[in-house]
Amino acid sequence: MKVLYDFSLITDYDVYLFREGSHCRLYEKLGCHFFEDGAYFALWAPHAKQVFVFGDFNGWDKHSLPLKRREDGSGIWEGFVEGVKKGQRYKYHLYTSWGYWTDRADPFGFFHETPPGTASIVWDIGYQWQDEEWLKKRKDINHHKAPISIYEVHLGSWRRVPEEGNRWLSYRELAPMLAQYVKEMGFTHVEFLPIIEHPFYGSWGYQITGYFAPTSRYGTPQDFMYLIDYLHQQGIGVILDWVPSHFPTDGHGLAYFDGTHLYEYEDWRKGWHPDWNSYIFDYGKGEVRSFLLSSAHFWLEKYHADGLRVDAVASMLYLDYSRKEWVPNQYGGRENLEAIDFLKKLNVCLYRDFEGIQTIAEESTAFPMVSRPVYIGGLGFGFKWNMGWMNDTLFYMSKDPIYRKYHHNQLTFSIWYAFSENFILPLSHDEVVHGKGSLINKMPGDYWQKFANLRLLFGYMWTHPGKKLLFMGGEFAQWREWNHEESLDWHLLDYESHKGIQRLVKDLNRLYREEKALHELDCEPEGFEWIDFHDWEKSIISYLRKSSDGDLVLVVCNFTPVPRFDYRIGVPREGFWKEILNTDSYIYGGSNLGNLGGVYAEDIPFHNRPYSLRLTLPPLAVVIFKWVGRDSNPRPTD
């Protein structure tokens, strides 16, 4: 077995783009590329004195297969090793300028050993995709005017097999089960917590070492492609959680890679994240920017992902984020200008190359124009998580209803900024861990009131402007906090109260999809109009959702356990207003108090509208009405 040096996948133009920070397809150049007669290896390690590749193919001899440094100053070492076979493990052996040796996994590896193993695996990522029809219509399904309702999933704990040692399901086992459930529930997309290779399972995937490989815990790269392909064929979009903000300190990973701070900032005040005990990428280095751009590009091109949810954007934007000691930028400010430039470049690159995809920012500050185009000064994301709505709403809902009138502003404030960004309303995994309690356990009151409050929360969320995201388990009111080591408590669906919550989420998703007024103008102020937000004494709010072609949906929320009879609401149109959903219905576990299918508008002006409705408002409930016209037959027949 020998190394050949007369073969290379890298051109001078690749080197130029790599160093400039503009290369979006480094996965075609660096890493391990398998051929019939061997494999080509290329590694960026500019400060290493020597680099060897070793593995199963040479008996793990660390010094028999040297790579050669390119003479163009790129810092890339390369070589073609004859006789390498698919499935063989390998690592790189580097001699640093500090005089010590270090063994590293391939930063561009397509497949890695299952942890605690740390070697990379020679692999190809060919796959015969069958999702052409999905890709053709994706731009309409992912559009800002489309109904987007996301089911957030952690693959290792959605379902498990207790009969087989509580093992998790493989990618291929998950595919039909997850697709069927998501379709039945009416969600339009799934969002996977990071499946990118990570050594510590308890990090949930947020401490990544293999930025170009799905975790091998659940199968091969092709198995993960099959899962996405299957979901697409069932009409379900796939969003991947992606973490360009920080990376772990593991010795086989990116940290101090070639004996220097290669991927991370050298100054610990910029390069170390105290919250997560992890390193921060050096966004000022062109090669690091190219590495991250290529990783994002890779998941959209090779795995047909429909979007990326970018984690911890706020920590990237600010140099003083969660720090006592920090270094200001060149103008004396706190913004990380290099990270901001990278995020803009990332979004321009992805939206340019992939029709119909979306990038989503998890950004918790008031940084402006996160989801506005780069050409008008924005960061270029398609959507942003509405963390303000989430925090205010959960704070409000946790209060005993008797005190809610003193916190009425927590409900109404979100509309002041609801259209400043393209928002997604997230009830994510972060809200049901670390002692925060499950959603149902956040709700005050006795057993019945807890479920009524949760139904109220979901009804309010699904009618509030913004796309929707719900973490698994919330849809059937799991009592326990999420535990990544165990399956969800599916047995709870044997109880009618939990089944009622699940039924409600299914119906809310159906209504959200079917009613243009509830989704078409989610991101535009023309889609929302207050009827009344002043009734803080009774903790009642009412508003209209509107479509571009004149559809009207009226939403009335009663945040107390007191039913209200003959409660008058002003409306803009005469005729019949059909009650299309009532969270207090008995089929959801409620008291079945309502409006007998709908109400005729009376010729009594109210709330500055020419007509009004006289309603019955159930306790701790949302009632939703649709204007169906002046001459409609209001009463359903048996």
Active site (catalytic) residues: 311, 362
Q: Which residue has the tokens 């780069």?
A: 374
Q: Which of helix, strand or coil describes residue 588?
A: helix
Dihedral angle sign, alpha carbons of residues 386, 392, 393, 394: positive
> What is the C-alpha end-to-end distance of the chain, expressed in Å?
81
What are the tokens at 528?
Answer: 């929302």
230 contacts 175 by C-beta, under 8 angstroms: yes
Distance CA 242, CA 364 (A): 16
DSSP annotation string for 422-463: -EEEEE-GGGGSTTS--HHHHS-SSHHHHHHHHHHHHHHHHH
Distance CA 478, CA 489 (A): 7
How many C-beta neighbours within 10 Å does residue 402 have? 12
Nearest to 278 by CA among 296, 294, 265: 265
Run of H or E including 511: helix 496-514
Helical H segments across 237-305, by residue range:
268-271, 286-301
Nearest to 265 by CA among 286, 277, 279, 249: 279
Q: Using alpha carbons only, give the angle 533, 539, 544 rounded to the nearest 5 degrees.
A: 40
Nearest to 553 by CA among 524, 531, 533: 531
Distance CA 419, CA 426 (A): 16
Distance CA 492, CA 612 (A): 42
Distance CA 615, CA 462 (A): 21
Distance CA 227, CA 271 (A): 36
Identify how many contiguous H helices and E strands the chain contains and give both numbers: 15, 31
Run of H or E including 518: helix 516-519
* DSSP state, residue 87: T
Distance of CA 432 to the CA centre of its chain: 16
* DSSP state, residue 601: P
CA-to-CA dists, residue 442 to 399, 452, 622, angstroms: 9, 12, 19
What are the tokens at 562?
Answer: 């007191």
Q: To the nearest 10°, the Cα dihedral for 115, 117, 119, 123? A: -60
Distance CA 51, CA 90 (A): 13
Nearest to 117 by CA among 203, 30, 216, 31: 216
